[in-house]
Amino acid sequence: MDTLKITDHIEALEAAGHGLADAAAEAGPDAEVPTCPGWRVRDLLRHTAMVHRWATTFVAEGRTAFHPGEGETTLDGEELLTHFREGHARLVSALRAAPEDLECWSFLPAPSPVAFWARRQTHETTVHRADAQSALASGPGPVDPAVAADGIDELLGAFHARDRSRVRTSEPRTLRVRATDTGDVWTVRLSPTGPPRTERGDRGADVAADTELSGSADRLYLTLWNRLPAGAVALTGDEEVLRVWRENSAVTWG
């Protein structure tokens, strides 16, 4: 269930991109990105710039079939930052200009292709903004609670509803995720034979949970995306469920 409007997503995407660029500029291209082992800030900028340009082609050109994109730039330093900022601005502009009835390729359920791309790029950029900020002493900053709750919903109810999700438990288990500030609750049924099945709100809430994660929506969001340590939120019940999640839930490019 997509709980934000397209305009809300675009505003969040715009803010996240500015925050990512500002953190990258402060950290410098050589800085290590602790949340992405093996990456430095230049790697993060190159990757996110590539994704933004790739997404823009579907929205701006109305492409109805998948295409792999043009790959990452080799630019560095100030030129790389400029390249990132320009690509991010083009994506925001393309989404704002897109007609509501635009037909183009997408890969997760959504009310429309434009709604899909606005939401997907909001969370792509918000998570990578946290990565850029992890290169600073201050660490990842807060995420707007409504954006964070929407992102948890996308991660649990869309990404990990797909057969390709690698999150499996040795026997059926139930994970509850509870946002203490927004009141949102997700019940996630895990099994050894298929992808997680997630219900939001009252649906499934009467089922006893083996594990519960609770905390503010933004801490839950960054924890479930493996951008904060497990101790950033409260855990009750079986710790094994969280271990399985953290070891198998990564969403990768390609």
Structure tokens at 112: 């429309």
pTM of this prediction exceeds 0.85: yes
Q: What is the DSSP string of 34-89?
A: TTSTT-BHHHHHHHHHHHHHHHHHHHHH---S-----------HHHHHHHHHHHHH
Is residue 124 domain-shared with residue 182, that is, in the same domain? no
Is residue 218 domain-shared with residue 122, that is, in the same domain? no
Q: What is the DSSP string of 13-31?
A: HHHHHHHHHHHHHHH-TT-
> Using one digit for the tens of pLDDT, what is the confidence trace for 151-170?
999 999 999 999 999 999 99
Mean local confidence (pLDDT), 141-151: 98
Residue 254's pLDDT is 56
Is residue 125 domain-shared with residue 166, that is, in the same domain? no
Q: Which domain holds residue 93?
A: 6-141
Is residue 89 domain-shared with residue 115, that is, in the same domain? yes
Please say if the pLDDT value at position 149 is more than 50. yes
184: CATH: 3.30.1050.10
> Using one digit for the tens of pLDDT, what is the confidence trace for 28-77?
999 999 999 999 999 999 999 999 999 999 999 999 999 998 899 999 99
> Using one digit for the tens of pLDDT, what is the confidence trace for 21-30?
999 999 999 9
Ramachandran region, residue 38 (left: φ > 0; alpha: ψ -120 to 50; beta: rest) = left
- Of 141, 174, 190, the position where a domain reaches its end is 141
Is residue 155 domain-shared with residue 63, that is, in the same domain? no
